[in-house]
Amino acid sequence: MTHHDDAPGGRTATYTILTTGYTLSTGPGVAATVSYVRDGDRHVIVDPGMVASRDRILGPLAALGLGPDDITDVVLSHHHPDNTMNVGLFGRARVHDHKAIYENDQWTDRDAEGHELAPSLRLIRTPGHSPEDITLLAGTEGGVVAFVGDLWWRPNGPVEDPVAPDHTVLKESRLRVLGTADVIVPGHGPAFPADESAPL
């Protein structure tokens, strides 16, 4: 079942993966894949989570000519600390999750499903890894890029997410993303194509 109607209307977004995350099977090390997405005047950070040092986020951002106060929005795919640890770096940003927008002392309820941050940036609900998971869909010149948090941890899965409460729900969300996206940016690894090679 395809969801081409999920795709944002615009194709003007650009993105840079600031740091490519990892999970180490040999030890406790875990780092988030942290991305920067721009559409018009919206400067968005996705999943500013655990990293070896904050320079892994701020250094690549500075190389783009941007400081933390230039970031207008932060998208949290879900509420696990390894994906949210450094949200406080971006003190001027609106923070988006599955149910609300948070800015300074203002909490504004809204459902993430279909919420548009900009003409080329749309949120959808993609539960599975946790009940609160959301995906940021970015329409770029080269296609739709899905920032999926831990819907996939990395290009090889895992197919059976050990923390997913319900693998059927996870698979449904994965199929929904695959029906719209051209590229997937996972929670803890490099980007990979949204094609038949994607683990289900």
Judged against a pLDDT cut of 70, whether residue 4 lies above it is answered with no
Mean pLDDT of all residues in 77-84: 97
- Of 22-26, 107-111, 152-156, least confident by mean pLDDT is 22-26
CATH 3.60.15.10 correct for 4-102+111-193 = yes
Instruction: List the one residue out of 174, 180, 162, 176 whose CA is nearest residue 198.
Output: 174
Confidence of residue 26 (pLDDT cuts 50, 70, 90): low
Q: b/e string for 62-72 if b means 16 or more Cβ within 10 A?
A: eeeebebeebb
According to the model, what pLDDT value does residue 1 have?
41
* pLDDT (0 to 100) of residue 62: 98
Q: Is the pLDDT reported for residue 28 higher than 80?
A: no
> pLDDT, tens digit, for every residue of 162-187?
999 999 999 999 999 999 999 999 99
How confident is the model over 182-200, as a mean pLDDT? 96
List the chain domain ranges: 4-102+111-193
pLDDT tier at 22, thresholds 50, 70, 90: very high
Q: How far apart are the first and last CA of the chain?
A: 14
